[in-house]
Structure 1
């Protein structure tokens, strides 16, 4: 399924904040860089990882919120996104979503 259409306007400040977190993570909070698994090179090398570039900001933000609210330490299993999403603030989820939505989709 193709990505949802991007909104006409994304907040430039949110995109910049999200890009910083996506590229660098936050080592103090043990947050890895999103692009380690979701960057263009990673998703091409291992298609198991979700392609986030160019996806709808609304959908990405909603998914991060779902991963946060669904987190139960005893049942997290092998998905590393549950504890990662749990560490993100609402603002960081919105910023990351805006940043990834501002990018061109990664071709398959």
Structure 2
């Protein structure tokens, strides 16, 4: 833990010259350890390894923080930072980043063949009933921008990150509460189909003013179909 915080302190000092003033008693100040890796406001790190967390549904962010803290997702730096934090404080962090509105960068040009991109589009929009694969849009929203309160958007993420996360679900390095729907889907995807989906998603622009839609607007059930923890009630701290 001492090494983790020493590293964060060094990174903070190196970046301090470019950072705007932050009120010392604010969630922006308390979450600087997050933005050192995830970028200002949680926009994403420059290398594609640290994903965007700004504007993601609060319930989704809260569950991911729990997963890191409790070992269902594996990254030592995250686990070390989160281990001493309470569920209520994790919920505060999740609400803070869910409220951040920041522009998305344009997607990188697609390099996959047209046939691969079309297969990815078909799986994303329609799924593949013969392989019992649901469409990504059936859970992540017709616009793929997420569904409140628990389902994240899939756009604005680098292909390398998408590949890494689906791979982590396939091999058990990333898990969720039962039923772990994404693990089942990732394992049902062939290597070719997984590559097609990530190529298609990474090439799509993010709609202007993209937000997760309300559950009723998406037509999903009020009870999550996939496993999740209930977020504590309350408001983010000032």
Q: With structure 2 as the length reference, what TM-score do the two structures score?
A: 0.39
Q: Which residue of the partner structure matches residue 180 of structure 2? A: 79
* Bigger proportion of residues as helix: 1
Structure 1 CA distance, aligned partners of 2:144 and 2:201? 15
Structure 2 CA distance, aligned partners of 1:14 and 1:59? 18
Q: Which residue of the partner structure matches residue 49 of structure 1? A: 151
Shift of 1:100: 0.6
- For the Cα contact (< 8 Å) 2:144–2:154, is it kept in 1? no
How many positions carry a matched residue from both structures?
A: 104
Q: Which runs of 5+ in 1 are unaligned?
A: none
Structure 2 CA distance, aligned partners of 1:92 and 1:29? 11
Structure 2 CA distance, aligned partners of 1:29 and 1:17? 14
Structure 1 CA distance, aligned partners of 2:196 and 2:140? 16
Shift of 1:10: 2.5
Q: Which residue of the partner structure matches residue 62 of structure 1? A: 164
Q: Which runs of 5+ in 2 are unaligned?
A: 1-41, 49-104, 212-238
Please, which of 113, 116, 121 is the counterpart of residue 14 of structure 1? 116
Q: Which residue of the partner structure matches residue 2 of structure 1? A: 43
What SS does the aligned partner of 1:93 have?
helix
What SS does the aligned partner of 1:19 have?
helix
Structure 2 CA distance, aligned partners of 1:14 and 1:29? 17
